[in-house]
């Protein structure tokens, strides 16, 4: 199993420009990474992060504070 994040704009379109694609061995590793980088991703124009296990959506979260 591979864990990845998909990055989206507020309207649900995928954000790929300027955003790297990381792969993780486990959910905990992926969540630790997003916890350390979410502010930079938001500054780069990402509105939402979607956690995927292979192709299955686990959950989606906003990168905006509040």
DSSP assignments along 3-61, one per residue: EEEEEE-TTS-B--TT----EESSHHHHHHHHHHHHHHHHHTT--EEEEEETTEEEEEE
1-31: pLDDT as tens digits: 999 999 999 999 998 766 778 899 999 999 9
Confidence of residue 65 (pLDDT cuts 50, 70, 90): confident
Cα separation, 27 vs 38, in Å, equals: 16
pLDDT band for position 34 (cuts 50, 70, 90)? very high
Whole-angstrom Cα distance, residue 11 to residue 14?
Answer: 9
pTM for this entry: 0.90
């Amino acid at each position: 199993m591979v864990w990845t994040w998909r990055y989206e704009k507020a309207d649900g379109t995928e954000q790929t420009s300027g955003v790297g694609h990381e792969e993780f061995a486990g959910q905990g590793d992926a969540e630790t990474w997003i916890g350390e980088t979410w502010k930079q991703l938001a500054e780069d124009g990402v509105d939402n992060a979607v956690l995927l296990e292979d192709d299955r959506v686990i959950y989606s979260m906003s990168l905006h504070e509040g």
